[in-house]
Structure 1
């Protein structure tokens, strides 16, 4: 059976965040940091009951095809 959600290892690879951090006495969990990263780059997700971001694989696949680079238009005279 194929998975419909990105697994934990895949989410770690996508975000580049594998653990939380503490700066100036403020603690952030790995999942809080991952959710912020996903929001910043515009990948849709839902938090589960534990606060972990859950990403549908279809959201990533549709994003990949929707943002394919477009070729720059050139007149036929220049390209000949």
Structure 2
């Protein structure tokens, strides 16, 4: 089932594919979750994300697709009178 969040954020399967991490592991006797491994990878790769309350990385689709932000026009300069004696 598709929801509106799928249009804005990557799905869990897409994050798994992007990071190449689909399950946790044990390092030095300490279990690491899939999410903590993905967070480490994303930080090292410089991909912007936020971690939700469960530690799951949430990635905006625009951050990966490189979609340009909406063009914002520079503010116009307002008319100002010239100061006498410049």
- Normalising by structure 2, we get a TM-score of 0.68
* Separation of aligned partners in 1, 2:65 and 2:27: 35
In the alignment, the residues of structure 2 paired with residue 27 and residue 10 of structure 1 have an alpha-carbon distance, to the nearest angstrom, of 23
**Equivalent position of 2:40 in the other structure:** 36
1:56 aligns with 2:60: yes
Q: Say how many residue pairs are matched.
A: 64
- The CA RMSD over aligned residues, in Å, is 1.7
Work out the CA distance in 2 between the residues paired with 1:40 and 1:23. 18
Listed as ranges, the gaps of 5+ residues in structure 1 are 66-80
More helix by share: 1
Structure 1 residue ranges, 4+ long, deviating more than 6 angstroms after superposition? none
CA displacement at 1:61 relative to structure 2: 1.6
Question: TM-score by structure 1 length?
Answer: 0.73
Which segments of 5 or more consecutive residues in structure 2 lack a partner in the other structure? 69-86
